[in-house]
Amino acid sequence: MADLSINMCGIKSPNPFWLASGPPSNCGEQVMRAFEMGWGGAVWKTLGKPIVNVDSRLGAVDYSGTKMMGFNNIELITDRPLDANFKEIYEVKRRYPDRAVVVSLMAESKEEWREIVQRSEDAGADGLELNFGCPHGMCERGMGSSVGQEPVVLEKITSWVMEYAQTPVLVKLTPNVTDILDPGVAAVRGGGNGISLINTVKSLIGVDLDTLFIKPTVGAESTSGGYCGPAVKPIALNMVATLARDPRITVPISGIGGISNWQDSVEYFALGATSVQVCTAVMHYGYRIVEDMIDGLNNYLDEMGMKSVNDLIGKAIPGFVEWGELDLNYDIVAKIDASKCIGCGLCYISCLDGAHQCVHTNKGQCYAYHGEPDHGFNPRIEVSAPIRHQPKNGDLAHVPFIDEKECVGCNLCMLVCPVPDCITMEEISHSKGKESWNDRVARGLV
């Protein structure tokens, strides 16, 4: 089996799966139960001056039968006494010395940072995570994302912490910025040993249609909160990869956002993450999901011929380029496997109304543009017309077919098809060679 152990800027753990700072890492009993299940590390729920949380603090978006596709919270940092947290951190490290215990921190003044850093390390923390990402409640007090959105402030506070810290420091970034590189570079300049991202996306989860109250509702009121769960994974992947490919980011990255299974984690590792942190999926399914994550990652690495998870880190980054570098001569077309088609017509409708009108039925009809232009608009009408490419599906009249000359390779028909591998995209061989937009600009063609 592959070696899953990692060294995240000096923080070692037997596998790269960590609990993210949040409700699943709120107390020692929870973290120890997670470690029993196999988690390699945990980032303790953010410590600072304990606050009072509100009741009714979570909301979710369900989609097409999937519960909690998107998740929202208006919960703040710990509401438990600091003394209790530090005693439990000490006990967790005593019982599980091989697991990574990272303590998330938030403070207002330089003196408060000094005190809480020293107390966390005295309790046995393997590392610290600076919470510069919380988008609600704490930011109104000058902390959380209000720091993460100001690179100069972020750099300054990180440098304060680095004066006191004896253990590795991760800087947790907010996604609520225009360019993630600005705070990322500031974190490195401030001396941070690593970066973790993303924290939650500022959001309103929805409105109760019966009461017209915003959810989650506190009495008759609510506020914007932090969005997470599977829905934010594409946002997080983009930000992780953006940092990982930039030469100014010289520290390791801990990836966070929508991770529910081993496949999600592989994507993060391939895009530059050294560890991954999970919160929403644990709140949904419990700690035991880590067993499948460990087994799945092990099997994947074995199948790929990789001896260590470290062999996977950053493997996809060379393929992450700007749009202007993409090959304009690369051509693909859709292919339909008639033996698998169930005749639902989704590919036909989606291409007709939402793409490029190149999927047709075998009923002898197609859609064509007709008539003279009228104020720039050509009405499209259904007409009986010879089909340029006759069906190749024999008597399977329910099976659509592709006009390959019109197909632009957009993937839409494949994406809407409910049958696995019924529609595939196949490359068309060509001899033109690779040519990008930037190449054309350089040659003066555009």
Active site residues: 134
Residue with token string 């006494």: 81
Are the beta carbons of 57 and 116 closer than 8 angstroms? no
Residue with token string 């909690």: 68
Residues in the chain: 446
Cis amide leading into 216 (omega within 30): yes
The runs of H, that is alpha helices, within 326-406 are 346-354
Three-state DSSP at 32 gives helix
Q: Could you tell me whether strands 423-427 and 332-336 are parallel, antiparallel, or unpaired per DSSP bridges?
A: antiparallel
In terms of Cα–Cα distance, which of 47, 55, 8, 6 is closest to 25?
47
Cis amide leading into 420 (omega within 30): no
Q: Which residues contact 178 (CB under 8 A, 6 or more apart)?
A: none
Residue 351: Cβ within 10 Å count: 25
Q: Which residues contact 282 (CB under 8 A, 6 or more apart)?
A: 19, 24, 34, 289
Name the residue type at position 379.
P
Residue 144 has φ and ψ, to the nearest 5°, of 60, -130
Q: ∠ at Cα 444 (443, 446), nearest 5°?
A: 115
In terms of Cα–Cα distance, which of 158, 227, 226, 225 is closest to 186?
158
Residue with token string 């924290």: 199
Three-state DSSP at 7 gives strand
Structure token digits, residue 237:
């992947």
Q: Which residues contact 361 (CB under 8 A, 6 or more apart)?
A: 345, 348, 400
